[in-house]
């Protein structure tokens, strides 16, 4: 539209210029008589022709610059439209995954004698059973003397071996007691994969994380955390959830010191970044060493716990 306006304006200016120049010549020299005087009159327009030719060329250059500016503006608008479209697609898909997650959570059930248990109650029962097993086997906390030496950076070789044994037993108890609910785990994996991997460039994912976290109760958060402590098959989910619901500042559930240390040891994630480096859940060489001395280490660990219990 602007180019059309410019073209009309330039054409009008040139036309008026020629007409004005012609009138001046006619006033000064009168109307030509014969072809020779008309030729002389035409030659008088030579300078004016050169002037307007230059102006015409300048106009073409200006027009090209205007077109380039319009093209750049259109490209910017297309980019903004594409970003808005990508953001809308990301958010709409995220909402669909959230709704799918809620639906799957309601649908899972497990017969318990003559009673059918549904949804979060199944996850809660699995968590309760696991935590009770951990409590009975005394792997819910480190012995006080180990904690004291750890804080003073004076851990002995035996202390380190005991800590590895505690991690091993803690993982074993979780693995043997947690009930694997495949549908809800896979759906949560899809939800968090989309949340963390599919965000458009420049998109602030923090609000989306808060949205997803608002849809999860402490039961689901703790269930997924314990599932991540039971197997490395869900390492991608552990990595994604470490950016949101497993963060200590955001945690909705009570995470024990051993839980946190085992997670960080297994996944090499400090719960403030999300880089999984180690594929083995427990270091194989360490397990091989203390398995040979399991009874001795277990007795030493029990003695520490009993000593701490008697002193209370």
| Residue 188 predicted with pLDDT over 90 | yes
CB within 8 A of 167, min separation 6: which ones? 258, 261, 262, 265, 282
Angle at 281 between CA 198 and CA 261, to 5 degrees: 85
Do residues 239 and 276 lie in contact, with contact meaning Cβ atoms separated by under 8 Å?
Answer: yes
Most confident of 226-230, 299-303, 306-310: 226-230
Task: Give 144-163 pLDDT, tens digit per residue.
Answer: 898 889 888 899 999 989 99
* Per-residue model confidence (pLDDT) at position 35: 46
| Residue 90 predicted with pLDDT over 90 | yes
Task: Report the b/e string of 244-255 with b at 16+ CB within 10 A.
Answer: bbbeeeebebeb
Distances (CA, A) of 71 to 5, 57, 84: 18, 21, 20
Task: Give 198-221 pLDDT, tens digit per residue.
Answer: 999 888 898 999 899 889 999 999
* Residue in the block written with tokens 């549908």: 183
Task: Give 251-304 pLDDT, tens digit per residue.
Answer: 778 888 899 899 998 898 887 654 555 556 777 777 777 777 888 888 888 888
Task: Compute the mean pLDDT over every residue in the chain, rounded to the nearest whole number.
Answer: 80
DSSP bridge partners of 112: 115
| pTM, entire model | 0.69
């Amino acid at each position: 539209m602007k180019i059309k306006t410019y073209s009309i304006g330039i054409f009008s200016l040139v036309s008026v210029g020629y007409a004005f120049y012609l009138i001046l010549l006619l006033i000064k020299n009168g109307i030509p008589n014969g072809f020779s005087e008309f030729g002389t009159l035409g030659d008088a327009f030579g300078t004016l022709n050169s002037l307007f030719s230059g102006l015409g060329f300048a106009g073409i250059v200006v027009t090209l610059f205007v077109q380039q500016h319009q093209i750049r503006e259109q490209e910017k608008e297309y980019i903004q439209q594409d970003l808005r479209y990508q953001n809308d697609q990301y958010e709409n898909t995220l909402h669909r995954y959230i709704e799918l997650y809620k639906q799957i959570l309601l649908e899972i059930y497990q017969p318990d004698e003559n009673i059918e248990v549904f949804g979060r109650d199944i996850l809660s029962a699995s968590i309760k059973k696991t935590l009770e097993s951990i409590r009975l086997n005394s792997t819910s906390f480190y012995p006080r003397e180990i904690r004291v030496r750890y804080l003073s950076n004076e851990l002995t070789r035996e202390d380190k071996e005991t800590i590895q044994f505690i991690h091993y037993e803690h993982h074993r108890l979780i693995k043997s007691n947690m009930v694997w609910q495949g549908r809800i785990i896979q759906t949560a994996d899809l939800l968090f994969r989309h949340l963390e991997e599919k965000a458009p460039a420049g998109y602030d994912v923090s609000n989306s994380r808060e949205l997803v976290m608002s849809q999860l109760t402490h039961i689901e958060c703790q269930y997924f955390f314990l599932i991540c402590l039971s197997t490395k098959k869900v390492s991608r989910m552990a990595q994604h959830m470490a950016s949101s619901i497993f963060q200590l500042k955001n945690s909705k559930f009570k995470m024990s010191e051993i839980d946190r240390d085992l997670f960080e040891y297994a996944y090499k994630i400090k719960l403030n970044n999300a880089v999984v480096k180690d594929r083995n859940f427990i270091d194989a060489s360490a397990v091989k060493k203390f398995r040979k001395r399991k009874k001795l280490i277990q007795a030493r660990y029990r003695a520490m716990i009993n000593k701490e219990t008697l002193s209370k």
